[in-house]
Structure 1
Amino acid sequence: MTKTAFADAHAPQTEVHAEPSDSIDTMYLTFPIGTELYGVSIGVVTEIVGLQRIMSVPDVPRYIKGVINLRGKVIPLMDVRLRFGMPEKAYDDRTVVIVLQVSDAPVGLIVDGVNEVLDIPASQIDRTHSFSGAEGRSLVMGLGRLEERVAILLDVNLLVEDDALMPPATVEA
């Protein structure tokens, strides 16, 4: 397992760089939410930015905190704690936004902080279907076995699958 730390995850903007690996498919950006460690595939992460002014948007689910304007791109923000039904926590100097590119659209995840990029080979990931919901789908893609911990690896497509995050469809006359 290879660890790659970020230069300064709390700086206003940090580009994502990982050590060379046999495959980017085994690289995961890990971050804490409460006491648990979560991970998303590094292949969909575009950058990590500090929390900035959030513009609220009416009539969206509670976990959609609003949007930010990041260098001219409007990016919807999801508070992962609220998405998971956890208690809300005041944002602090460790809170960051992980910007993902999912289905050709940027989405920001507000998380408690970031840890590191880990190389977790498929042989160390337990894929489980026991977490599936009523529709047979789960936000948990697998459980990455680390030395003394487990990282809950998320399916970002299902995590952000929500009409509230999608840009409005273009209406043709």
Structure 2
Amino acid sequence: HTTGADGLGREFLAFKLGSEEYGIDILKVQEIRGYEAVTRIANAPEFIKGVINLRGIIIPVVDMRIKFKLGEPVYDQFTVVIILNINGRVVGMVVDSVSDVTTLTPDQIKQAPDMGTAFSNEYLIGLGTIDERMLILVDINRLMSSAEMGLIEGLAP
């Protein structure tokens, strides 16, 4: 289940949160935007920054750095919002910066050890290794659909 249609691997969008680099399946990514002001929602959890209007669709924006307590979030010219399409629901996710798109073959993806990353292991696909680089591969579908995110109610994982 780790290979693409061509059997040559999967493409991951690499992004940074704090000092770590993460990767998510590029097929879940709809677009990447600069950070813009969001409209706060009353009573939303702190990590839900608010909502933005994306071409007429109101989408929730989650700040991963707040959600996973990765230090004080800074909003600067590198801060980006990755617009995700999760089972037909569109969600924005704030990250420190986006690096590149990387193709990983199955043998470059290792089982993630229980090493206390910000994400619990159930949301990890594994560790992607490219030379000296290490990407923590996040199962963004499962994470965004999870009860703890509270974003997509009634969707079974």
2:10 maps to what in 1? 26
**Alpha-carbon shift at residue 37 of structure 1 (Å):** 0.6
Aligned 1:1-173 pairs, distance under 5 A:
22=6, 26-128=10-112, 130=114, 138-160=122-144, 161-162=146-147, 164-166=150-152
Q: The residue matched to 1:85 in structure 2 has which SS?
A: coil
Structure 1 residue runs without a partner (length 5+):
1-20, 169-173
1:10 maps to what in 2? none
- d(CA) in 2 for partners of 1:84, 1:24: 32
**Alpha-carbon shift at residue 167 of structure 1 (Å):** 6.9
- d(CA) in 1 for partners of 2:32, 2:143: 18
Q: How large is the RMSD of aligned CA atoms in angstroms?
A: 2.3
Hey, which bits of structure 1, 4+ residues long, moved more than 6 A? none
- d(CA) in 2 for partners of 1:60, 1:25: 38
Does structure 1 conserve the Cα–Cα contact (< 8 Å) formed by 2:47 and 2:63?
yes
**Alpha-carbon shift at residue 24 of structure 1 (Å):** 8.6
Q: How many residues align?
A: 145
Matching residue's letter, 1:75: I
Q: The residue matched to 2:107 in structure 1 has which SS?
A: helix
Choose between structure 1 and 2: higher strand proportion.
2
- d(CA) in 1 for partners of 2:29, 2:7: 15
TM-score by length of 1: 0.75
Q: The residue matched to 1:123 in structure 2 has which SS?
A: helix
Does structure 2 conserve the Cα–Cα contact (< 8 Å) formed by 1:25 and 1:43?
no
Does structure 2 conserve the Cα–Cα contact (< 8 Å) formed by 1:60 and 1:164?
no
- d(CA) in 2 for partners of 1:52, 1:24: 36
Q: Mean alpha-carbon deviation: is it higher for 82-91 or for 158-167?
A: 158-167
Which one has a bigger Cα radius of gyration? 1
